[in-house]
Amino acid sequence: MGFAAERAVAVTAAVFVVVMTMVLEPAVAAVYKVGDAAGWTTIGGVDYKQWAATKTFQPGDVIVFEYNAKFHNVMRVTHGMYKSCNVSDPIETHSSGNDTITIQTRGHHFFLCGVPGHCQAGQKVDINVQRLASTTVAPEPSALASPAVPLAHTPAAQAPKATAPRLSTGFWLLLSALSVLAFA
């Protein structure tokens, strides 16, 4: 096999590896502690709407609710229930005090505290996983419904707040392959 043929095989193999890595390995998930240092509470005037607005959530991200289980809980609800603070028929209820929820789908994911008066006091959050990466303003939550796909619930783990940008391994492999080809 000549040099040109060997190089073509190497390039094809490199492209195949990069494509497969990008398809099979999603970007590293971020971990977000709801309310940051304050956690999930009614004390301290945490503005969960503002907190969520400063985040860029992606499928696979982990949302951690830390709270005193004697005084709070976490309920995943529909959009209508979220708006009216209705806790009569939640999609999921968590009550460990350290609940770790992995977001699996795009769209809005609505959570609130089911203790009487807490949601009305502002203890509710809309985790909006954008459908497309864009700089346009997202529609108001009232226009969207909570997805029907359930979220995975994993055992609680202490997790730091993530703020680093996501770059998948596939992206780095693609850059590496292109730089090898450029200097070959």
pLDDT value at residue 28: 75
Q: Are 109 and 129 in contact (CB under 8 A)?
A: yes
- Kindly report, residue by residue over 159-175, the tens digit of the pLDDT: 444 444 455 545 555 55
CA–CA separation, 138 and 136 (whole Å)? 6
Report the SS3 class of residue 53.
helix
CA–CA separation, 65 and 35 (whole Å)? 8
Would you give the DSSP letter of residue 113?
Answer: -
Q: What percent of the chain has pLDDT over 90?
A: 53
CA–CA separation, 52 and 50 (whole Å)? 5
Report the amino acid identity of residue 68: N
Nearest in space to 109 (alpha carbons), one of 68, 170, 160, 60: 60
- Kindly report, residue by residue over 107-155, the tens digit of the pLDDT: 999 999 999 999 999 999 999 998 765 444 444 444 444 444 444 443 3
- Kindly report, residue by residue over 61-76, the tens digit of the pLDDT: 999 999 999 999 999 9
Average pLDDT, stretch 86-110? Answer: 96
Higher pLDDT pick, 7 / 55? 55
Q: For residue 48, is pLDDT > 90?
A: yes
Q: What percent of the chain has pLDDT over 70?
A: 57
pLDDT value at residue 63: 97
Query: By CB neighbour count within 10 A (0-12 exposed, 13-18 middle, 19+ buried), where does 82 fall?
Result: buried
3-state SS, one letter per residue, for 117-137:
CCCCCCCEEEEEECCCCCCCC
CA–CA separation, 28 and 166 (whole Å)? 6
